[in-house]
């Protein structure tokens, strides 16, 4: 504990006593306590990647490696559009895979406030893991030029988020109809996900290059949603519109220096794993 506190205090001195706004760690209780003691005004959140990596070992051998289950929980964690939708999907996942009595999942759900809201910040903080983004290219899933364009500018993590939205847009969403009012074309989009159906409205203006969707995923995640991407690709856009590229998700931004405490975290999951 003392060595962790010493490290955090050294960081504070180096940063002229400016506390970080948010600190993301795994569930190591020593780190958690040191953050509370030293970074008094910082928000502490848990690392969703560590939680997801631990998942296969915590659900039993029947589900470990079950693609349907992995897809289901990933969809619940990464694709939910609102807290209500997340909670609904989580409940359905527990029921479908008979996991209501799984203590680890129950505890992970109880502390969801500590990790659900950290996902966006975390995308920005994955600097260490993003080094490969600067020199390598990921595999394309779809044959749209816009996917190639985004692959060239976004880091791997953010490209994956984009690619998933593009895939959902082209596979599970359909334009039901459009209306045009003074250049604003409104697309009514039917979104099928498992047994659910939702209707979203995308307003796209070709002249002003403005686009908005009623799901507001872009407002929170800053990656165009599946519905906007369906509209972009339906309009044969070869590149993502400049105003929908957020600089901090790009490879250029990933070159900027970041501060991290990964090297002292170790692999401590004990707090929620037992």
Binding site for Zn ion (CB under 5 A): 200, 213, 215, 225, 227
DSSP structural state of residue 182: T
SS3 95: helix
Write out the two tokens for 30. Answer: 């020593």
For 183, half-sphere exposure in the C-beta direction (CA atoms, 13 angstrom radius) is: 7
Q: How far is the CB of 125 from Zn ion (least distance, A)?
A: 25
> What is the C-alpha to C-alpha distance for residues 7 and 80, in angstroms, rounded to an integer?
37
Nearer to Zn ion, 45 or 227 (CB): 227
What are the angstrom distances between the C-alpha of 222 and each of 121, 247, 248, 265?
Answer: 11, 10, 10, 29
Nearer to Zn ion, 30 or 212 (CB): 212
Nearer to Zn ion, 133 or 158 (CB): 158
What are the angstrom distances between the C-alpha of 185 and each of 160, 209, 234?
Answer: 28, 11, 13
Nearer to Zn ion, 11 or 172 (CB): 172
Q: How far is the CB of 203 from Zn ion (least distance, A)?
A: 11
Question: How many other β-carbons are positioned within 10 Å of the β-carbon of residue 219?
Answer: 10
Q: How far is the CB of 117 from Zn ion (least distance, A)?
A: 20
Q: How far is the CB of 105 from Zn ion (least distance, A)?
A: 29
Nearer to Zn ion, 115 or 232 (CB): 232
Q: How far is the CB of 84 from Zn ion (least distance, A)?
A: 16
CB distance 23 to 42 below 8 Å:
yes
Q: How far is the CB of 146 from Zn ion (least distance, A)?
A: 16
> What is the C-alpha to C-alpha distance for residues 137 and 155, in angstroms, rounded to an integer?
10
Nearer to Zn ion, 225 or 272 (CB): 225
- Alpha-carbon Rg of the chain, whole angstroms? 21
Nearer to Zn ion, 3 or 220 (CB): 220
Write out the two tokens for 211. Answer: 């686009």
Question: How many other β-carbons are positioned within 10 Å of the β-carbon of residue 254?
Answer: 23
Q: How far is the CB of 78 from Zn ion (least distance, A)?
A: 15
- Find tokens 């893991």 and name the residue: 129
């Amino acid at each position: 504990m003392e060595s962790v506190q010493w490290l955090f205090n050294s960081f504070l001195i180096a940063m002229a006593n400016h506390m970080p706004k948010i600190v993301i760690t795994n569930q190591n209780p020593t780190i958690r306590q040191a953050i509370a003691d030293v970074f008094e005004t910082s928000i502490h959140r848990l690392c969703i990647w560590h939680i997801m990596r631990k998942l296969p070992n915590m659900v039993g051998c029947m589900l470990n490696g079950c693609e349907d289950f992995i897809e289901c929980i990933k969809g619940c964690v990464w694709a939910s559009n609102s807290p209500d939708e997340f909670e609904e999907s989580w409940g359905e996942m527990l029921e479908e895979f008979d996991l209501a009595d799984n203590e680890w999942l129950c505890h992970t759900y109880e502390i969801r406030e500590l990790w659900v809201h950290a996902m966006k910040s975390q995308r920005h903080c994955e600097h260490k893991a993003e080094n490969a983004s600067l020199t390598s290219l990921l595999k394309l899933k779809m044959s749209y030029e816009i996917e190639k364009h985004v692959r060239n500018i976004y880091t791997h993590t953010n490209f994956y988020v984009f690619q998933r939205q593009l895939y959902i847009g082209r596979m599970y969403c359909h334009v039901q109809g459009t209306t045009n009012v003074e250049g604003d074309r409104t697309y009514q989009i039917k979104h099928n996900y498992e047994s659910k159906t939702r209707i979203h409205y995308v307003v796209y203006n070709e002249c002003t290059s403005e686009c908005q969707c009623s799901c507001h995923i872009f407002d929170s995640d800053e990656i165009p949603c599946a519905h906007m991407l369906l509209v972009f690709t339906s309009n044969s856009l070869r590149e993502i519109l400049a105003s929908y590229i957020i600089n901090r998700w790009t490879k250029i931004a990933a070159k900027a220096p970041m501060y991290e405490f990964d090297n002292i975290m170790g692999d401590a999951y004990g707090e929620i794993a037992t």
